[in-house]
């Protein structure tokens, strides 16, 4: 067995990194799924904007999988990868990994598909460059 099988690594490009704060958590000290989804949407949009070379908007979110809770104080890193590019749309896979404060260990906590569409200044769909 190779080291890659023993130690999984994030897929895609690091697009967003933040820290979970107490205001983002439930009474048990774990972040709300909605907060995590908003970070994923931002991370996916950053990648989509670079591909679209301009404005994009989220049109669909699918196949979310939450693997473990995110404790307060964790460094949350979003990695995004374009998995399909159409005429005006970009489908991304966004993975979230956290770095544990106490050990420095990096673990995957969730992943999901986010679809973005390129739009013009009036909010109308436009073709990708």
Q: Is residue 72 part of a domain?
A: yes
Q: What is the pLDDT along the chain (129 residues), one digit of tens a residue?
A: 445 556 788 999 999 999 999 999 999 989 999 999 999 999 999 999 999 999 999 999 998 999 999 998 899 999 999 999 999 999 999 999 998 878 888 999 999 999 999 999 999 999 999
| CATH code for the domain in which residue 98 is found | 3.10.129.10
Q: Which two structure tokens, joined as six digits, stand for 106?
A: 């990096």
Return d(Cα 108, Cα 93) in angstroms, integer. Answer: 13
Note whether residue 127 is domain-resident: no
Phi, psi dihedrals of residue 49, rounded to the nearest 5°? -65, -35
Task: Check: CB of residue 91 under 8 Å from CB of residue 52.
Answer: no
Number of domains in the chain: 1
User: Which structural domain range is residue 57 located in?
Assistant: 12-118
In a domain, 1, yes or no: no
Q: Flag whether 45 is in a domain.
A: yes
Give a yes or no: residue 78 inside a domain. yes
Looking at the DSSP assignment, which residues form a beta bridge with residue 80?
Answer: 13, 94
- Tokens coding 43: 């991370």
pLDDT at 73: 87
Q: What is the pTM of this model?
A: 0.91
Query: Token digits for 84?
Result: 């399909």
Residue with tokens 């404790």: 71
Output the pLDDT for position 8: 84
């Amino acid at each position: 067995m190779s080291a890659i099988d023993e130690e999984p690594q994030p897929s895609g490009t690091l697009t967003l990194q933040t820290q979970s704060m107490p205001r983002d958590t439930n009474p048990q000290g774990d972040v709300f799924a909605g907060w995590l989804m908003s970070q994923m949407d931002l991370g996916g949009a950053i990648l989509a904007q670079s591909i679209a070379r301009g404005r994009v908007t989220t049109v669909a979110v699918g196949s979310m999988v939450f693997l473990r809770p995110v404790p307060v104080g964790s460094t949350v890193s979003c990695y995004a990868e374009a998995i399909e590019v159409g005429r005006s749309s970009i489908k991304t896979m966004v993975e979230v990994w956290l770095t544990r404060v106490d050990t420095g260990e990096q673990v995957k906590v969730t992943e999901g598909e986010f679809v973005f569409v390129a739009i013009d200044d009036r909010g109308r769909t436009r073709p990708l460059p």
